[in-house]
Structure 1
Amino acid sequence: MSHMKPDSNSPLSFPLTLKFEEVVYKVRVGEEGWLSSCYGGGQKNVNEKSILNGISGVVSPGEMLAMLGPSGSGKTTLLTALGGRLTGKLSGKITYNGQPFSGSVKRRTGFVTQHDVLYPHLTVTETLVFTALLRLPGSLTKAEKVSQARSVMEQLGLDRVAQSMIGGPLFRGLSGGERKRVSIGLEMLVNPSLLLVDEPTSGLDSTTALRIMRILRGLAVDGGRTVVVTIHQPSNRIYNMFDKLVVLSEGSPIYYGQGSLVLDYFSSIGFSFPVSVNPAELLLDLANGIPPDSEQPVENGVELECRKSVKEKLISAYNKNISNKLKEELLSINDNRNNSNSSVLSNAEKKKKKRRKEEWCTNWWEQFTVLLRRGLKERRYDSFNNLRIFQVISVASLGGLLWWHTPQSHIQDRVSLLFFFSVFWGFYPLYNAVFTFPQERSMLIKERSSGMYRLSSYFLARTAGDLPMELGLPTAFVVIIYWMGGLKADPATFVLSLIVVLYSVLVAQSLGLAVGAILMDVKQATTLASVTTLIFLVAGGYYVQQIPSFIVWLKYLSYSYYCYKLLLNVQFDENDRYQCPDGTTCRVADYPAIKSVGFTDVWMDVGIMALMLVGYRLIAYLALRRLSPR
């Protein structure tokens, strides 16, 4: 496959014929009650619902197939299945040049989702260049990859907005049509043999929609690509661009064939159309069970039965008039294709070791560096950064004023300041970290489905990109409040205190990443984080010194407890003295808030926090693997 010439007029070295036969997809509806599963009694409330019912078709290079149907008819589900991205109870046969879905097919397939999943703060150039650096093979130089990205921009008419940000809900950027072209451009970078596009005209005005469809038509006809699109209700001009149609009604096919033969077919089975009407509108009515001569009636019981009857008649006519002929067509194409192109994939399947090496277009380090640079550029305009800086500096300054030059004799105030360190930097990084992966879920699924990078390179790049802000803010915080609060004026003690706080920040961030990755829901994650921080606050060793034995284990789960204990060990020695209320001097080790924690097992505490840091991040990584595509 040529990577250097993505132009739609350049011939493909690997034309691909897509064939799907009797595709059926079912999902489980309802759940089995826990009483039934435990005791075997009662009725199981588990049913299967058919989403796709025996859909067949074929698309050859240079053709554009459109899937039409109302919302919920199964168009997107079928497209996802054709792209090798659908998991679950899928049956039937989907082949690519006579071979099943494989890594080589995956690298030759472009998939454009209905909703444009893009980073809002990146420019068009940055979006395409970073993707080119990740998706194009390592045999190309960086300059060649950048050149290809610019070539795609020019081909899609994006050069005028090259330096414009994508934009998002909070600030203006590209128009809807421009964003859709960027999404198509991301897939065109790899010069795909098969291009699957979900609802490319959704939310666009008629002029923009027509322009997008002309681009896709050119990619098919001029570039020899196999293009499949789902579309809800195309205009007459867009309808005439399609070579073939698949019309779906509640997951069942009611038509397959050329768009120009639609009127003749439905007239032959008793549904006459006015010649002047857009066929797509009438097809949509039929898919909803509304015959051409019917007005839009009220959906009462009689009307629903009538619609059901129309749908059953259409499905029966399809099985009688189209299904058998289509099977013969698929069989003949299979024979021809096996003799011509399947050998290319067969040879690739025999070379397993080589294929494993080619599973990723770039090596791990390149993926990590590109993802790290992209992440830093995306978050450079993060509106929350200035707010977070103001928040931390304000809290540090106010805290410094409240604990202003605390005398050495006021041990309670000094201990409370250290506990404030451990608590504030126990919950602040946690709350910030829980948003990390839920906010990037769609992007992660999309890019991992395209085989852009390893999960490990993304995970480390994403977490490393947050470190400057995550470590910079607590450093500024400690610098301000430490000296204002009158803690031990010793540089070594200050440095050790800072290290302990930063160590605690990393552990808290790790827990936040794990919670966010497991739940993948911001509301649920923040709720769980609130409960967790409250427990850690109470069990941190300051508020309650004598925790009942049956629940004392809670404090050993609290990293705030270990941070508090380490800070006490840095600031005080067990033989230090302080002035008691009666005027005598007492040992620091005997002060209740310190005695309950103690000065022993310091290195064990450091090790436990290290286990938490590594363990929480490992849990987060394993949780993200659930999102990994097939």
Structure 2
Amino acid sequence: MSGNSAEYAAAPANARKEAPSAMTSQPGTNLDIEQDAGGDMHLLNRTVYNLTWRGVTVTVKDRKTKQLRNIVDNMEGMVEAGEICALMGPSGCGKTTLLNVLAHRDTNAQSVSSNVLVNGSSVPLSTFRNISAFVEQEDSLIGSLTVRETLDFAARLSTNSSVLSSSERLHRIGSLLESFGLRGQANTLIGTPIRKGISGGQKRRVGVASQLITSPKILFLDEPTSGLDSVASWEVINYLRSVARRNNLIVIASIHQPSTSTFNLFDKLLLMSNGKPHYFGPVSSVADHYAQCQYPIPNNTNPAEFLLEMVNTDFTMNPAYAQQLVEWLQNSWENSAQCAYVYNAIMSAEQQGYEAVSAQLAAEIQRPSRLSLIATLLHRSFVKSYRDVVAYGIRVAMYTGLALMMGTVWLRLNTHQTDIIPFTNAIFFGSAFMSFMAVAYVPAFLEDRQQYVKEHQNGLYGATELIVSNFLIGLPYLFLISIIFSLISYWLSNFAPTASAFFTWVMWLYLDLLAAESLVVLFTALFPNFVISLALVAFANGLWMSVGGFLVQPTILNVFYKYVFHYWDYQKWVFEGMMVNEFSRRVYECAKVPGGGCACMYQSELADQCQITGQAVLDQFGYETGHMGRNVGIMLSIVVGYRLAAWAVLTLKKN
């Protein structure tokens, strides 16, 4: 038994790390904050001493054999405050699944059995989310925000203003920027596909800092060094190590093939293969353990690389031998003294039961109110909307171009009967293609949804806050688009030249865009994939065009499409409203024939005057006047229905 192993066996006694007496506590918060000479912020964790887990088993159904199998099999371990632990193993060994179980996140597994305890006690899910944070493998950051704004919004979403005042929040943000070496990039954008921002390593640090701003006691990270070179990887892990030391933070990170210098930054290692444990304990004792197993780590060799090659059964010239070796190493671990020490340390921590966490934290932590969360999300969306041209800037340009094209193609139509069909075509084009081009909103909402998933799983807010804030931020922009489009196209095409007719047109166009964007939100919430969402939104709008009443008149539309799709097709109500707005207000001239007669395309009571009433045109479609209030109500119901459906999808979907 090595000295490190002995220290590990006595872990519970060592877990009680007391703060220096010079540090002072700020009343009203769940944190003790000290600003030292170097500008660092110390978050003293007096509540969480350790995180233990045992008997963690995750069962799934194999896609090929349809048989149940364990992708995580009887895992156990213990990490104490101030330590950083690495979960390591070949791809597909169950690292991320185990991390999700420890973080109390969904795994989409057939069954999960586990005993994950904080300070030797079970903690309610709501409390666990209050004391923990999870950093995703992908950088789910809003590219159009600056580094400082990212931290600021994270703080405002996580902490009630009565607990953390504005000055305290700014102080905490400044301290984190200093601690993570980001002060020089504080006012730099994260970066979008169009605008260059900070580097990959800096994004990782921002991702971690945005979780630390919520002052968690336990931090989980999924592949924090993925996609980074060895220098950037060392930089990220070194920051995590220093933050854990200073703040008595428990850090658990899955990692794949770190460099030697990065590997040695970790305090503890959990090595996995085929879902089973091969080693858990101090990184400094890894060499001793495998030397005892008669597989010593060669000198001048990256130990992490050596261990991964040894337990990998996917890429080998002799799969049978590799499998036997892995099984032998796993059995060697189960029969080792170190494994016994791990078990004894876990049981000792459970029996010790330091203190109950839930009651204390329930009193300490106060989340923002729902209205406060909606206001913060609305503010963040506003900043994003005017900086990120993808959200609304490109769409404004697209719709302006569409208005110019429509106004110049259908230029200065008149009230002769030959222009009745062009008028009808222009109305269809203006309404249908405006809603069709809402597909441009898909990438913007995809980013919002990814951010929502991350923040929702960290317990910050729910689907209600996202849907309400997303709807509200779109209202002024969509109205602006409706006005710009109408000011250009309406007068160029010479629709009914009255103020009331113009604003009625604007209203229908506005409702059209609200419904179209709500449809985008629904499909993108249901299928968070750019290509799938784009295809479904395009298909739905194509269907609405087909059954909306223009291509096939409602009076002769196929019964199936009429009763299954036609009446809840928002394009149908917009087209009908615009047709009534145009043709119920005007009279059209019939064609003159030689000899003084008239040839009218539509028969009406004005035929003897060589004119056509607009109602005669509406009769061909089965449209009547006097139903605008009802039709507007139906449109609003469709908009609300799409939003409620999106809310239900986000509420029921687990990721």
1:29 aligns with 2:62: yes
Q: How much does 1:4 deviate?
A: 4.5
Alignment of 1:120-159 (within 5 A): 120-138=143-161, 139-159=163-183
**Partner of 1:499 in structure 2?**
507
1:561 aligns with 2:569: no
**Partner of 1:42 in structure 2?**
none
Deviates more, 1:18-27 or 1:380-389: 380-389
**Partner of 2:114 in structure 1?**
92
Query: Aligned letter for 1:341?
Result: E
Say if 1:503 and 1:574 are closer, same or farther in 2 by CA, change over 3 A: same
Query: Aligned letter for 1:597?
Result: Y
Q: How much does 1:502 deviate?
A: 1.1
Looking at structure 2, the residues matched to 327 and 246 of structure 1 have their Cα atoms a distance apart, in angstroms, of 14
**Partner of 1:378 in structure 2?**
384
Q: How much does 1:470 deviate?
A: 2.0
Alignment of 1:527-606 (within 5 A): 527-545=535-553, 546-553=556-563, 554-573=565-584, 576=587, 578-579=589-590, 582=599, 584-591=610-617, 594-599=620-625, 601-606=627-632
Looking at structure 2, the residues matched to 482 and 108 of structure 1 have their Cα atoms a distance apart, in angstroms, of 57
Cα-to-partner distance string for 1:257-300 (whole Å, 9 max, x where unaligned): 2222222222222223334433323222222259xxxxxxx844
Q: 1:200 aligns with which of 219, 224, 231?
A: 224
1:400 aligns with 2:407: yes
Looking at structure 1, the residues matched to 322 and 376 of structure 2 have their Cα atoms a distance apart, in angstroms, of 54
Cα-to-partner distance string for 1:439-472 (whole Å, 9 max, x where unaligned): 3333211111112223212222123223333221
Give the SS at the match of 2:72: strand
Say if 1:10 and 1:619 are closer, same or farther in 2 by CA, change over 3 A: closer
Q: 2:319 aligns with which of 304, 318, 333?
A: 304
Give the SS at the match of 1:416: helix
Looking at structure 2, the residues matched to 25 and 119 of structure 1 have their Cα atoms a distance apart, in angstroms, of 33
Query: Aligned letter for 2:566?
Result: K
**Partner of 1:326 in structure 2?**
342
Give the SS at the match of 1:458: helix
Say if 1:523 and 1:76 are closer, same or farther in 2 by CA, change over 3 A: same
Q: 2:278 aligns with which of 254, 257, 275?
A: 254
Deviates more, 1:524-533 or 1:572-581: 572-581
Query: Aligned letter for 1:313?
Result: W
1:114 aligns with 2:120: no
Cα-to-partner distance string for 1:400-438 (whole Å, 9 max, x where unaligned): 223222222233332332222322233223x23444443
| Alpha-carbon contact 1:233-1:284 (below 8 Å) kept | yes
**Partner of 2:25 in structure 1?**
none
Cα-to-partner distance string for 1:472-520 (whole Å, 9 max, x where unaligned): 1121111111111122211122112211221222122222221222222
Give the SS at the match of 1:267: helix
| Alpha-carbon contact 1:165-1:174 (below 8 Å) kept | yes
Q: 1:237 aligns with which of 244, 261, 272?
A: 261
Q: How much does 1:21 deviate?
A: 0.3
Looking at structure 1, the residues matched to 225 and 266 of structure 2 have their Cα atoms a distance apart, in angstroms, of 14
Query: Aligned letter for 2:344?
Result: E
Q: How much does 1:550 deviate?
A: 4.3
Q: 2:51 aligns with which of 12, 18, 30?
A: 18
Looking at structure 2, the residues matched to 49 and 593 of structure 1 have their Cα atoms a distance apart, in angstroms, of 66
Deviates more, 1:128-137 or 1:267-276: 267-276
Give the SS at the match of 1:72: coil
Deviates more, 1:120-129 or 1:412-421: 412-421
Deviates more, 1:513-522 or 1:376-385: 376-385
Q: How much does 1:94 deviate?
A: 0.7
Looking at structure 1, the residues matched to 296 and 405 of structure 2 have their Cα atoms a distance apart, in angstroms, of 79
Query: Aligned letter for 2:348?
Result: S
1:420 aligns with 2:437: no
Which residues of structure 2 form unaligned runs of 5+?
1-29, 592-597, 601-609
| Alpha-carbon contact 1:128-1:185 (below 8 Å) kept | yes
**Partner of 2:13 in structure 1?**
none
| Alpha-carbon contact 1:152-1:185 (below 8 Å) kept | yes
Give the SS at the match of 1:208: helix
Looking at structure 1, the residues matched to 237 and 203 of structure 2 have their Cα atoms a distance apart, in angstroms, of 14
| Alpha-carbon contact 1:50-1:251 (below 8 Å) kept | yes
Looking at structure 1, the residues matched to 559 and 137 of structure 2 have their Cα atoms a distance apart, in angstroms, of 56
**Partner of 1:38 in structure 2?**
none
- Could you tell me the TM-score, scaled by structure 2's length? 0.85
Give the SS at the match of 2:227: coil
Deviates more, 1:237-246 or 1:506-515: 237-246
**Partner of 2:651 in structure 1?**
625
Report how many aligned residue pairs link the two structures.
596
Give the SS at the match of 2:599: coil
Cα-to-partner distance string for 1:219-248 (whole Å, 9 max, x where unaligned): 223322222222222333333333322111
Query: Aligned letter for 2:401?
Result: S
Say if 1:495 and 1:134 are closer, same or farther in 2 by CA, change over 3 A: same
Query: Aligned letter for 1:391?
Result: M
Say if 1:587 and 1:57 are closer, same or farther in 2 by CA, change over 3 A: same
| Alpha-carbon contact 1:263-1:273 (below 8 Å) kept | yes
Q: How much does 1:128 deviate?
A: 0.9
**Partner of 2:516 in structure 1?**
508
Looking at structure 1, the residues matched to 619 and 547 of structure 2 have their Cα atoms a distance apart, in angstroms, of 12
Looking at structure 1, the residues matched to 287 and 428 of structure 2 have their Cα atoms a distance apart, in angstroms, of 78
1:459 aligns with 2:462: no
Which residues of structure 1 form unaligned runs of 5+?
32-44, 291-297
Deviates more, 1:511-520 or 1:198-207: 198-207
- Could you tell me the TM-score, scaled by structure 1's length? 0.88
Looking at structure 1, the residues matched to 307 and 346 of structure 2 have their Cα atoms a distance apart, in angstroms, of 24
**Partner of 1:41 in structure 2?**
none
Deviates more, 1:224-233 or 1:90-99: 224-233
Looking at structure 2, the residues matched to 374 and 4 of structure 1 have their Cα atoms a distance apart, in angstroms, of 27
Deviates more, 1:496-505 or 1:99-108: 99-108
Query: Aligned letter for 1:560?
Result: Q
Q: How much does 1:578 deviate?
A: 4.4
Q: 2:637 aligns with which of 584, 593, 611?
A: 611
**Partner of 1:294 in structure 2?**
none
Identity %: 26
Say if 1:332 and 1:169 are closer, same or farther in 2 by CA, change over 3 A: same
1:2 aligns with 2:31: yes
Cα-to-partner distance string for 1:381-403 (whole Å, 9 max, x where unaligned): 32344443333222212322232
Looking at structure 2, the residues matched to 289 and 512 of structure 1 have their Cα atoms a distance apart, in angstroms, of 44
Q: 2:128 aligns with which of 65, 85, 105?
A: 105
**Partner of 1:341 in structure 2?**
355
**Partner of 2:295 in structure 1?**
271
Q: How much does 1:193 deviate?
A: 1.6
Deviates more, 1:617-626 or 1:265-274: 265-274
Q: How much does 1:59 deviate?
A: 0.9
| Alpha-carbon contact 2:119-2:355 (below 8 Å) kept | yes
Query: Aligned letter for 2:76?
Result: S
Q: How much does 1:309 deviate?
A: 0.7
Looking at structure 2, the residues matched to 61 and 272 of structure 1 have their Cα atoms a distance apart, in angstroms, of 31
| Alpha-carbon contact 1:426-1:559 (below 8 Å) kept | no
Give the SS at the match of 1:257: strand
Say if 1:557 and 1:18 are closer, same or farther in 2 by CA, change over 3 A: same
Query: Aligned letter for 1:544?
Result: V
Give the SS at the match of 1:157: coil
Say if 1:414 and 1:3 are closer, same or farther in 2 by CA, change over 3 A: farther
Say if 1:562 and 1:55 are closer, same or farther in 2 by CA, change over 3 A: same
| Alpha-carbon contact 2:32-2:44 (below 8 Å) kept | no
| Alpha-carbon contact 1:8-1:218 (below 8 Å) kept | no
| Alpha-carbon contact 2:449-2:525 (below 8 Å) kept | no
Give the SS at the match of 2:386: coil
